[in-house]
Amino acid sequence: MKKLLLVGAVALFAVMNAQDNETVGFNKGNTFITGAIGYATQTQGEFKNSNFTIAPSVGYFATPNIALGTRIGFSNTTESVKIANLKLEDKSNLFTAGLFGRYYWMPASRFSIFAELNANYATQKFTEDNASLPDTEYKLNGFSVGFAPGISYFISNHFALEASVGVFNYMNLKEDEDGAESVEDSNIGINLNDISFGLIYKF
């Protein structure tokens, strides 16, 4: 019986030791999934604005420091205002799909810093509800590019928390109609409203 207990204790110690020695952080050949999700709302008098965003991603470490991946994203924005007894509402649905590349500093440690460059195809649909008038709809297609630094921190061998902030974004959209002009939107600089948080799972 004592020998059986000793063997069990040795086996348990070996398993725990192996778990402790498992690498925390990223290494070449690792695959990870991550994503960002957010919801914001603002109300002022009869005006209300709300936004919901979700963007899952999959990445692969091609080298010890460089990760390449793909991402899809969806964002819904609704603005409404009441004038007398009439309610006016504008809705926007934005869908993106694209690629990203990241360079990591200290990827094999629990804490790491990264810089991301991404390029995406974008399509956006607007719907205007003018109370008693018929709804109007129009669609835009185009592309976007962005640069965002971020940090990640492993809370276990496979899970890490992630935060990033966009410091450069450029989007070019054109209405899906002959002769329409492009709509450009760009911003440079750190905006605390552009901070996104996510959870990483490393395979």
CATH number of the domain within which 198 lies:
2.40.160.20
Residue 66: its pLDDT value, please? Answer: 97
Can you count the helices (H) and strands (E) in the chain? 1, 10
The β-bridge partners of 96 are: 73, 122
Whether pTM exceeds 0.75: no
Residue 13: its pLDDT value, please? Answer: 38
> If we measure between CA atoms, which residue out of 175, 131, 150 comes closest to residue 36?
150
Residue 194: its pLDDT value, please? Answer: 66
The H or E element that residue 185 is part of is strand 182-188
Write the DSSP string, 151-176: EEEESSSSEEEEEEE-SEEEEEEEES
Q: pLDDT by residue for the chain (203 residues), tens digit each?
A: 433 333 333 333 333 444 444 578 999 999 999 987 778 888 887 788 888 988 899 999 999 999 999 999 999 998 888 777 777 888 889 999 999 999 999 999 999 999 999 999 999 888 887 766 667 788 889 998 999 999 999 999 999 999 888 778 888 888 876 666 666 676 666 655 567 788 899 98
Q: Provide the number of structural domains found in the chain.
A: 1
For the beta carbon of residue 104, count every other beta carbon within 10 angstroms: 22
Residue 10: its pLDDT value, please? Answer: 35
Query: What is the CA 107 to chain-centroid distance, rounded?
Result: 20
Residue 188 lies in domain = 2-202
